Chains A and B, each alone.
Chain A
């Protein structure tokens, strides 16, 4: 069974702090997506990475795809209360073509 493991599962920080969320697997993915979900809403896509070693920036968010395309990270600089939510990684398997979601990281940013 292919798994995407996210860590940490929960994160509570103060406004202005930096944080990193990890998404790891033993499987290779052809692409990896990061979504953010607010309470009572569906997930919304933040970014898609497709090339090993790729780095993408979205304002204060930096996304990296591992060289071997088995892992990814999301780094948030100077977190704000508006960043609060559930962050999900989702990988498209190179072998099966299936899209697999990680368990999610719940982020709470306190003012």
Chain B
């Protein structure tokens, strides 16, 4: 069964360091999302891609966060420099369509701890 792949699964870093997360969506899925989730709370959208284009990055802290999906397939989310408040689960999701009404398929997430 096709899955959304994310790595690393866990990352521990010190504040001010750089960190990167990778996501490979289900093949053929046009839309890719990066979410940040605090334990026990709902996911918050950081950035949404449709193919290789950003369609929504209004909640992405652009002074330290960047995201790219160069060939419209896999994607990387980078944080530089990391801050204590960035500790969270970073979830990647993909959907086949180009709207926001279809089922989102989530990866297992990358848990970040900033010390």
Cβ of A25 under 8 Å from chain B: no
- In terms of DSSP, what is the predominant structure of the interface of chain B? loop
- In the complex, identify which listed stretch (A12-20, A38-46, A51-59, A60-68) lies at the interface while the others stay far away: A38-46
Give every chain A residue within 8 A of B42 (Cβ-Cβ).
Answer: 4, 6, 88, 101-104
Q: Which residues of B in the span 1-42 have a Cβ within 8 Å of any Cβ on A?
A: 4, 35, 40-42
Assess whether A31 is in contact with B104, with CB atoms less than 8 Å apart: no
Assess whether B100 is in contact with A98, with CB atoms less than 8 Å apart: yes
How many A-B residue pairs have C-beta atoms within 8 angstroms? Tell me: 55
Among residues of A, the one whose C-beta sits closest to the C-beta of B10 is A40
Give every chain B residue within 8 A of A88 (Cβ-Cβ).
Answer: 42-43
Cβ of A30 under 8 Å from chain B: yes
A1-38 vs B, Cβ < 8 Å mask (1 yes, 0 no): 00010100000000000000000000000110101000
Q: How large is the interface on A (under 10, 10 to 19, 20 to 34, 35 or more residues)?
A: 20 to 34
Assess whether A99 is in contact with B44, with CB atoms less than 8 Å apart: no
Assess whether A92 is in contact with B104, with CB atoms less than 8 Å apart: no
Cβ of A106 under 8 Å from chain B: yes
Nearest Cβ on chain B to A102's Cβ, whole angstroms: 5
Give every chain A residue within 8 A of B100 (Cβ-Cβ).
Answer: 92, 97-99
Cβ of A86 under 8 Å from chain B: yes
Known: A30-B101, A92-B101, A97-B100. A42 touches B107 (CB 8 A): yes
Assess whether A99 is in contact with B40, with CB atoms less than 8 Å apart: no
Known: A97-B100, A98-B100, A99-B100. A41 touches B109 (CB 8 A): yes
Cβ of A48 under 8 Å from chain B: yes
Give every chain A residue within 8 A of B106 (Cβ-Cβ).
Answer: 42-44
Give every chain B residue within 8 A of A97 (Cβ-Cβ).
Answer: 99-100
Could you say which of B43, B44, B45, B108 contacts A40, with CB atoms under 8 Å apart? B108
Assess whether A43 is in contact with B108, with CB atoms less than 8 Å apart: no
Give every chain B residue within 8 A of A102 (Cβ-Cβ).
Answer: 42
Nearest Cβ on chain B to A61's Cβ, whole angstroms: 16
Give every chain A residue within 8 A of B104 (Cβ-Cβ).
Answer: 33, 35, 43, 45, 90, 99
